[in-house]
Amino acid sequence: MKQKLWVFLIVIILIAAGCSAPTKTDKKDNQDKAENAQKSKPKYHRIISLMPSNTEILYQLGLGDDIVGVSTVDDYPNDVKHKQKFDAMKLNKEQLLKAKPDLIVAHESQKGMDGKVLQSLKNKGIKVVYIKDAKTLDEIYDTFKQVGKVTGRESQASTLVYDTKHRVDAVLKDVPKHEKKPTVFLEVSHEPEIYTAGKDTFFNYMLEKLNAENSFNDVTGWKKVSKESIIKKNPNVLITTEGISRSEYLKVIRKRGGFEDLEAVKKGRVEAVDGDKISRPGPRIDQGLEELRDAIYRDE
């Protein structure tokens, strides 16, 4: 259920939102400046994170004990169950103030959705940072650095970037190379309507990195699609990212008239992956890529 809520939140939010060597003296001056800058960096001990991916980054940077609140769809790591919950879709100013945060880590799309609330908190001296919507691996690594910089954990962020890159590279190294790429339909929501991810989304980017083709790469962003359009595309693989099991997804597919003639259904290529891992641009993205890779190339 949490996965369904998280994926739905993502869809709604994104639809609503887009020299010469130094002398010894120079070295000493630079060192003094660096030390002074380090001392002047604010230290935050009451952090509220309004997106699960931001929360996971903060924990990886060793700031779990400093987090006092998370969004209602946060479920990882397990420790978040002990944190106060805030509805990221409808922020309550009084509730946020009562938690006495000194730092709020938000998603850039919330500038439009909850801009007035967050601005009023900034006016009261609370630091509010907006994390950009990452659509590539490099942009994910940039968010690690961004969070690390604002929290004074730049060294830890650099280590996180290095480690994550290493794990991602290992996953991509084992991607089969076919002359004809498999076509994939990614279903991010099946009720009340079917939604998928088109181009200019991280999901589409991941498929490209995995040498696969998005069946709906002719649309942009997160789109509602009809059963008829899916049948017309006739993808090689159907994959749900909604947080339901493969057997549950098969039941959904069997209720759709005409889907029995799809190549993916005929060949048993109906798959399910952990939606949290591939939809959250965070430290577990290598696990998400691995699951998606294995779902696409299950028989290889």
Question: What mean pLDDT is predicted for residues 80-96?
Answer: 96
Would you state the structure tokens that stand for residue 235, as one six-digit string? 């993808």
Q: Which pLDDT band, with edges at 50, 70 and 90, does 43 fall under? A: confident
Identify the three-state secondary structure at position 32. helix
Would you state the structure tokens that stand for residue 104, as one six-digit string? 């709020």
The per-residue pLDDT for 100 is 98
User: Where do the domains of the chain lie, and which CATH numbers do they carry?
Assistant: 2-7+42-170 (3.40.50.1980), 177-296 (3.40.50.1980)
* 36 vs 215: which has the higher pLDDT: 215
- Nearest Cα neighbor of 258 from 230, 224, 223, 216 is 230
The model's pTM: 0.85
d(CA 111, CA 91): 12
CA distances from residue 161 to 56, 139, 193, 204 in whole angstroms, order as listed: 13, 11, 37, 22
Q: What is the pLDDT of residues 152-172, one digit of tens each?
A: 999 999 999 999 999 999 999
Question: What mean pLDDT is predicted for residues 203-215?
Answer: 98
The per-residue pLDDT for 201 is 94
